[in-house]
Amino acid sequence: MHYPSETPRWRRYLRFFRPDVHGDVDEELRFHFESRIEELIAQGMSAPDARERAVQEFGDVTSVRQGLVAIDNRLARRRSRSEQIFEILNDVRYATRSLRRTPGVALAILATLALGVGANAAMFTLLDSIFLRPPAGVINPAGVRRVWAERHYMSGTQFSQILSYVQFDAIRTALGDRANVAVYRIALQTRVGLGENTGQAQVGYASAEYFSLLDVRASLGRLYSHDEDRLDAPSPVVVLSRAYWERAFDADPNAIGKSIILGGTKYTIVGVATKSFAGTELNATDIWAPLAFYARGRGPGTPWWRNPAVNGLFMLVRPTAGANDRELEQRITTALRRSSVGSDSLTVGRFGSIITSNGPGKKGQEEQIAVRLTGVATIVLIIACANVVNLLLARAVRRRREIAVRLALGIARGRLIRLLLAESAVLTVFAVAIAIAVAYWGGVLLRKLLLPDIHWAQSPLDWRVVLFALVAAIGSGLIAGLIPALQSANPELTSALKIGTGSGVVQHSRLRASLVVVQSALSLLLLAGALLFVRSLDNVRRLDIGFDAKSLVTASVRFDDRTRASDSTLPRRMTELAERLRHVNGIERVGLMSMPPMSGFSTLSWYTDTDSSGAHRGFLMTASGISGEFFAAAGLSVLRGEIFSVTRGAPIPPSVVISESMAKTVWPGRNAIGQCIRFGSPTDTCYRVIGIVENARMGEIIERESIAQYYLPLDNLPTTAKRTLTAAYVAIRVAPERYARVSNEVRSLVRQHFVGGIPVLTRLSDYIDPQYRPWRLGAMLFTVFGILALVVAVIGIYSTVSYGVNQRVHEFGVRIALGATLGDVLRLVVGTGMRAVAVGVASGIVLALIAGRLVVSLLYGVQPRDPVVLGSVALLLLAVGVLATLAPAWRAARVDPVTALRSD
């Protein structure tokens, strides 16, 4: 048959993949020509003439054909697009409809997925802020290095960023033009303004180069210059962060040129930094002042910047192009060794990232908890995923018949899988929305809980967190959706159609049993972790810090006027104040002390009859001057001997009270009472030890070193201590419930007693509370996650067993008809369910034993392999497992054999 450009046969097979446009056009035209030629021949024309006539009537065959193909191609493309959209819409509509039919299951899946992903995203916000996000507003942060000193001690390696100005100067000289350098002091909470109702701001001190090194500009006014930053004569100027300017000055442009009083010093505001810049630490800086103000007025004689003992400075380096990091570190090492006091041959200079937490060395306890918690959150997500798989599987099992019908009617398996995946896609979309909300609030909450002292500059949520939530949700949704989809797309058609929903149990239950194993193993792991943290917290809480923290309050006075603070009559007037406080209703005991409790140490040189060298190796010691009922007020009990007399007017002989640890360390195996201590020089007055009191902590609730304390009477101090140990604080014992009322009275008495003085009251419990925080936090967060895991696992066990029962209703009917008792059926169902749980518990214990060393550094007084912890968690999980299987088992036992046997 003649027809221009015959289509090859093979083209037809393309139809399987997409519409064969060429073939269709050719076939249509061929039909036209055949019909026309046939008709013309029938009218008596010769075949060649007929063909010629047909072509003539048609026109330009080639160009028409090309035109038709072009039109049809456009059409085909548009169709396939709209078909796809239509199909997807259809899938989504179908999925939503079928999910709405089982709202309980849908909600359970949604909640598990959203919580799992949300918890992870919240953890991610935290890790992101701590470890991943460079400080905002810094141009090219990757090019900035922090300087660390790595020091090797007998007890291990320590890393520190803290330098003295002497060391900084040596490093700057050593680096020369190979790098730009800046030095600064991290921001500390500082009083703003004068009087009692002062505000607070995070004030940092930085060299002028700090801004230029980070490439930070002023968004208003200017930054301070090198001349204003001179160490010997700095100008009192400050630069505000944009956030602080907006917060404290309502973004008033006239703030420039105004003065601000920080910690009693008056400064002039010269500028506001660029919008997002809030310093280089996690903790946002509000105000920067020239570096020289950091230690102004500290000590007479040598200026502080030549005194190697004045440290606390951090250093930033931006190597110039072509500089080698290793070589610079080498130079820093040399500079550090040369500039440090004494022999320091074991110090090595190291560079770290601009992100402090990514520096070398050990992470802080909160940061460690954050990292562990991320692992925990991931485990929760795995459990959640397993649960979603389980629930979707259960749904799929129930829909076996429907799926089999669809397959029998010729639905493509690919399309069926897509249909089933659409369900998890719909769930995932909703879950992501909820998860992002959970992440935001969770992130805010976690930041507050984990690092409450940090004033965050940025929102916890940014595109990375959203991306993380999306990837986590889609990933887990896909995995959770794909397994049941693949499973149910392969049923044996005939059996599924013939027998009701009752078949296929064996095939599915193995997968689902292993999901239960995974869930119970992982939740055992998390619960064991939670219990370890709870026990640690309990151990830490029960630590005896010596002081009676709940009822010990210290009162003192401060003055905005600096000259008043060094008034020599203050100790006498403080004693008078103590006398007046004694009569305040609600105050049980009043004493005086030279230093508030747990705020560090101060000591004198002292000598005993056996050690006249004054070298007391092996322990730290601290001296306090006290008087009155100090021991009673502080809650320190007297173990042996006696304490200073409180009788007024009676002279106190030269005597000293020591702590139990001091008695044991200095006079081991001997009676310390009656021994002689000489302060200042070996020939000074002998102070007799008259009593031994219980140990008190010096600064931290957990102190590993042996710390010795000695208490001297304020009324009869050794000559050497007359200047340093003065009555500066009043120790008051107040029942916690009376504190609110008493504190107001104390404040007004202080104001009356010291004109222009500002009362300062501190409760020891408030002061040491932050130290319990990491423990409380670890216990709390691990418990929350543990319970979350347990709840999810219980849902998993329950739903698995429950669906198993549903599948086997027929079988139970037969069993009961054949005489199985209630107990038999209960045992059977609970036994089947508990087998998986038991395997899970066993593997969970193994996991816990292996994973234990990851948390050992965060525990106190309990070992990760603690058999009581593991045992009780295992028991708990088994008990919960029995409860979860009992409900469906009861249902199985109540099956009415007649109904069950008739139903199919």
**By CB under 8 A, is residue 173 in contact with another protein?**
no
- CA neighbor of 665 nearest in space, from 612, 620, 601: 620
**Residue 45 Cβ, how far from another protein at the closest point, in Å?**
15
Q: Is 64 in the site for another protein (CB under 8 A)?
A: yes
Q: From the CB of 18, what's the least distance to another protein, in Å? A: 16
Least distance in Å: CB of 32 to another protein? 5
Query: Token match 């008056």: residue?
Result: 266
Interface pick for another protein out of 7, 27, 169, 686 (rule CB under 8 A):
27
Q: Among 11, 36, 337, 558, indicate the residue that binds another protein (CB under 8 A).
A: 36
For 288, list phi and psi in degrees, rounded to 5: -115, 135
- Rounded to a whole number of angstroms, the minimum distance from the CB of residue 13 to another protein is 16
Stretch that binds another protein, among 63-71, 371-379, 629-637, 727-735 (CB under 8 A): 63-71
Stretch that binds another protein, among 68-76, 162-170, 404-412, 413-421 (CB under 8 A): 68-76
The least distance separating another protein from the CB of residue 34, rounded to whole angstroms, comes to: 7
Q: How far is the CB of 49 from another protein (least distance, A)?
A: 14
Q: Who's near 716: CB < 8 A, 6+ residues apart?
A: 651, 652, 653, 654, 655
Cα-atom radius of gyration of the chain, to the nearest Å? Answer: 40
CB 84 to another protein: min, Å: 18
Between the two ends of the chain, the Cα-to-Cα distance in Å is 62
Q: Indicate whether 60 belongs to the interface with another protein (CB under 8 A).
A: yes
Q: Is 57 in the site for another protein (CB under 8 A)?
A: yes
Of residues 72, 169, 694, 811, which one binds another protein by CB under 8 A?
72
Q: If residue 151 lies in a helix (H) or strand (E), which one and from where to where?
A: strand 145-153
Q: H-type helices in 13-46, by residue range?
A: 21-42
Stretch that binds another protein, among 59-67, 267-275, 302-310, 828-836 (CB under 8 A): 59-67
Q: Please select the residue that binds another protein; options are 13, 31, 86, 441, rule is CB under 8 A.
A: 31
User: What are the φ/ψ torsions at residue 757 (nearest 5 degrees)?
Assistant: -85, 150
Of residues 27 and 402, the one with the C-beta less far from another protein: 27
Per rule CB under 8 A, is residue 756 in the interface with another protein?
Answer: no
Q: How far apart are CA 869 and CA 528, in angstroms?
A: 6
Of the candidate spans 54-62, 221-229, 655-663, 676-684, the one that interacts with another protein by CB under 8 A turns out to be 54-62
Q: Is 588 in the site for another protein (CB under 8 A)?
A: no
- Region near another protein per CB under 8 A, out of 27-35, 385-393, 397-405, 864-872: 27-35
User: How many residues would you count in the chain?
Assistant: 904
Could you tell me if 876 and 527 are in contact, meaning their C-beta atoms sit under 8 angstroms apart? yes
Decide: is 61 part of the binding site for another protein (CB under 8 A): yes
| Partners of 593 in beta bridges | 626, 729
* Strand, coil or helix: 404: helix
Q: Which is nearer to another protein, 40 or 797 (CB)?
A: 40
* Distance (Å, whole) CA 277 – CA 752: 44
- Is residue 11 within the footprint of another protein (CB under 8 A)? no
In the bound state with another protein, the residue whose beta carbon lies nearer, of 5 and 490, is 5
- Mark the segment that binds another protein (CB under 8 A) among 58-66, 575-583, 684-692, 703-711: 58-66
Q: Other C-beta atoms within 10 Å of 129: how many? A: 25
CB of 55 to another protein, least distance (A): 10
32 binds another protein (CB under 8 A): yes
Among residues 3, 23, 24, 622, the one that binds another protein under rule CB under 8 A:
24
DSSP H or E stretch at residue 316: strand 314-319
Using the rule CB under 8 A, is 75 a contact of another protein?
A: yes
Interface size with another protein, residues (CB under 8 A) = 23
Cβ atoms of residues 714 and 625 within 8 Å:
yes
CA–CA gap between residue 180 and residue 226 (Å, rounded): 14
CB of 54 to another protein, least distance (A): 8
Please state the closest distance from residue 277 (CB atom) to another protein, in A: 59
CB 674 within 8 A of CB 641: no
CB of 135 to another protein, least distance (A): 59
- Counting contacts by CB under 8 A, is residue 18 touching another protein? no
Among 41, 68, 105, 673, binds another protein (CB under 8 A): 68
C-alpha torsion angle, residues 540, 545, 547, 548 (rounded to 10): 20
Q: Using the rule CB under 8 A, is 28 a contact of another protein?
A: yes
220 φ/ψ angles, rounded to the nearest 5 degrees: -155, 140
Please tell me the distance from the alpha carbon of residue 841 to that of residue 518, in angstroms, as a whole number.
9
Phi-psi region at 883: left, alpha or beta (left = phi > 0; alpha = psi -120 to 50):
alpha
Find the part of the chain contacting another protein (CB under 8 A) among 56-64, 328-336, 682-690, 775-783.
56-64
Q: Please state, in angstroms and rounded to a whole number, the distance separating the CA atoms of residues 276 and 293.
A: 25
- Tokens (6 digits) for 489: 């797309």
DSSP class of residue 263? T
CB of 437 to another protein, least distance (A): 44
Q: Report d(CA 770, CA 450) in Å as an integer.
A: 11
Q: Is 49 in the site for another protein (CB under 8 A)?
A: no
Span from 52-60, 360-368, 596-604, 789-797 in contact with another protein (CB under 8 A): 52-60
Q: Interacting stretch for another protein, rule CB under 8 A, among 25-33, 539-547, 611-619, 623-631?
A: 25-33
Select from 20-28, 142-150, 442-450, 532-540 the region that touches another protein (CB under 8 A): 20-28
Site for another protein in 204-223 (CB under 8 A): none
DSSP E strands: which ranges in 476-577?
552-559
Cα angle at 348 between 182 and 168, to 5 degrees? Answer: 25
Residues 468 and 121: beta-carbon distance below 8 Å:
yes
Verify binding: residue 4, another protein, rule CB under 8 A.
no
* Minimum CB distance to another protein, residue 89 (Å): 19
To another protein, the closest distance from the beta carbon of 15 in angstroms equals 11
Least distance (Å) from another protein to the CB of residue 52? 12
Q: Which is nearer to another protein, 61 or 878 (CB)?
A: 61
Minimal distance in Å, beta carbon 415 to another protein?
23
Q: Which residues contact 398 (CB under 8 A, 6 or more apart)?
A: 501, 803, 806
Our CB check for another protein shows the closer of 26 and 366 to be 26
The DSSP H or E segment spanning 831 is: helix 822-851
Our CA dihedral for 44, 49, 50, 55, rounded to 10 degrees, sits at -160
Query: Rounded distance, CA 187 to CA 263, Å?
Result: 13
> How would you write 439-474 as a 3-class SS string?
HHHHHHHHHHHHCCCCCCCCCCCCHHHHHHHHHHHH
How far apart, in whole angstroms, are the C-alpha atoms of residue 843 and residue 837? 10
Q: Per CB under 8 A, does 58 bind another protein?
A: yes
CA distance 117 to 111: 10
849 binds another protein (CB under 8 A): no
CA atoms of 65 and 22, how far apart (whole Å): 9
We find the least distance from the C-beta atom of residue 17 to another protein, in angstroms, to be 18
Our finding on whether 59 is near another protein (CB under 8 A) is yes
- Residue 433 class from Cβ within 10 Å (0-12 exposed, 13-18 middle, 19+ buried)? middle
Is 71 a binding residue for another protein by CB under 8 A? The answer is yes
Contact flag: residue 43 with another protein (CB under 8 A) = no
Is 34 near another protein (CB under 8 A)?
yes
List residues near another protein by CB under 8 A: 24, 27-29, 31-32, 34-36, 56-61, 63-64, 67-68, 71-72, 74-75
